[in-house]
A and B are shown apart, each in its own frame.
Chain A
Amino acid sequence: MEITILEKTEHNIKFILEGMDVAFANALRRTMLTRLPAMAIDEVLVIENTSVMYDEMLAHRLGLVPLTTILEDYNLPDKCDCEGKGCSLCQCTLTLEKEAGDEEIMVFSRDLSSQDPKVVPASGDIPLVKLAPHQRIIIEAYARLGRGVENAKFQPVATVAYKYVPLVTVDKSKCTLCGDCVEVCPKKILRLNGNTLATQNTLDCSLCEACVEECEAGAITIDSKPDSFLFKVESTGSLPPEEIVVKSAELLKERVQVALDFANSL
């Protein structure tokens, strides 16, 4: 297995995975989506809420706010010594207290004050509710680790997708340089360069094969590289994208081991 990182930003990572089949690529994708734990608010105690928004709606919005997660610091509630009742090892309390003066105000996710400075909203600019003059909210929220299988708010990723690595080849002896394929390509992969048909940014190719259909001479072939995948992982901000990939691979390995142990015990 070989991984080549193409692009890495704060929330995104793009890499090529080589030497693995579809089954593995999809298993990795699904592990990232549904098995990797992340923190999210799960229980909300509304002490006071005079805003125009219902308590339930407010609680739902709070649950969707991504929280930065340190996986080593917290236990999953079902694996915690407290047996899921909620203790300081598996739960983090966040409080929100805000009152509007004579002007209306917007309550943002940054107004949530956390008991643990490492578990804070990944983005402070998420509007939660707007308060009319003299309205007030006092809220206590309990965040815990959870998995994507349970609720999508626990997913550390927004999207994880993979596609085949495209291979665009032009047969120069057949090409008539008509330029029809250049027009038809939605991703602008093909380009007429003097008297040759050149390719550019081939990784952007969506494998639609519009150029193959357009080319009467049959000079273009679109193929995909065997056992190679182009992955795109987009984090919600709860975990850094590279950590998501590494931790998911470890989790997948553990789960495969469990399956193997079971098979061997039969």
Chain B
Amino acid sequence: MIIPVRCFTCGKVIADKYEQFKREVRQGDDPAVVLDRLGYNRYCCRRMLLSHIDIIDNFMAFATTEGVEQR
């Protein structure tokens, strides 16, 4: 749904660097180089960022806010 807070395997916090990772990869940097620069040396943490697909935006398309406005 949204980037997990920590690496499933080792418990390192990964969520705080996801935006930066995504931005730099979009700018054309090699993901491997970006991950090295961010200090993710283990493959468990690397796969967390590499393989993540954000689907919260898809869910938000179905968001209902009427209930709140009525109150």
* A positions within 8 Å CB-CB of B: 50-53, 57, 61, 64-66, 104, 109, 122-127, 129-130, 132-136, 152, 155, 157-159, 234, 236-237
The 5 closest A-B pairs by CB, nearest first: A132-B63, A125-B16, A158-B12, A64-B5, A134-B65
**In whole angstroms, what is the CA distance A66 to B19 when docked?**
19
Q: A52-B59, A127-B15 are in contact. Are A158 and B10 (CB under 8 A)?
A: yes
A155–B11 touching, CB < 8 Å: yes
Question: Nearest residue in B to A50 (C-beta to C-beta)?
Answer: B68
- Residues in B with CB closer than 8 Å to A132 are 60, 63, 65
Question: Nearest residue in B to A237 (C-beta to C-beta)?
Answer: B13
A102 to chain B, nearest CB (A): 11
A124 to chain B, nearest CB (A): 8
A152–B11 touching, CB < 8 Å: yes
Q: A52-B59, A57-B1 are in contact. Are A159 and B12 (CB under 8 A)?
A: yes
**In whole angstroms, what is the CA distance A124 to B65 when docked?**
27
Is chain A's binding surface mostly helix, strand, loop or mixed? loop
Interface residues on chain B, size class:
20 to 34
Q: Per-position contact with A for B13-47: 1 when CB-CB < 8 Å, else 0?
A: 10111110000000000000000000000100000
Q: How many pairs of residues, A versus B, come closer than 8 Å at their CB atoms?
A: 75
- Residues in B with CB closer than 8 Å to A234 are 12
A135–B63 touching, CB < 8 Å: yes
- Residues in A with CB closer than 8 Å to B62 are 52
Question: Nearest residue in A to B6 (C-beta to C-beta)?
Answer: A64
**In whole angstroms, what is the CA distance A192 to B62 when docked?**
63
A61 to chain B, nearest CB (A): 5
A115 to chain B, nearest CB (A): 22
Q: Say which residue of B1, B16, B42, B69 sits within 8 Å of A126 (CB atoms).
A: B16
**In whole angstroms, what is the CA distance A158 to B44 when docked?**
12
A126–B13 touching, CB < 8 Å: yes
- Residues in A with CB closer than 8 Å to B56 are 52-53, 129-130
Question: Nearest residue in B to A104 (C-beta to C-beta)?
Answer: B60
Seed contacts A126-B5, A135-B68, A155-B11; 18 additional CB < 8 Å A-B pairs: A50-B65, A52-B56, A52-B59, A53-B2, A64-B6, A66-B13, A104-B60, A124-B16, A125-B16, A127-B15, A127-B18, A130-B60, A132-B60, A133-B65, A134-B65, A136-B68, A158-B12, A236-B6
**In whole angstroms, what is the CA distance A236 to B59 when docked?**
30
**In whole angstroms, what is the CA distance A134 to B67 when docked?**
10
**In whole angstroms, what is the CA distance A152 to B65 when docked?**
36
- Residues in A with CB closer than 8 Å to B10 are 158-159
Q: A53-B2, A158-B12, A236-B13 are in contact. Are A130 and B57 (CB under 8 A)?
A: yes
A125–B19 touching, CB < 8 Å: yes
Q: Say which residue of A53, A157, A159 sits within 8 Å of B1 (CB atoms).
A: A53
Q: A50-B65, A50-B67, A134-B68 are in contact. Are A65 and B59 (CB under 8 A)?
A: no
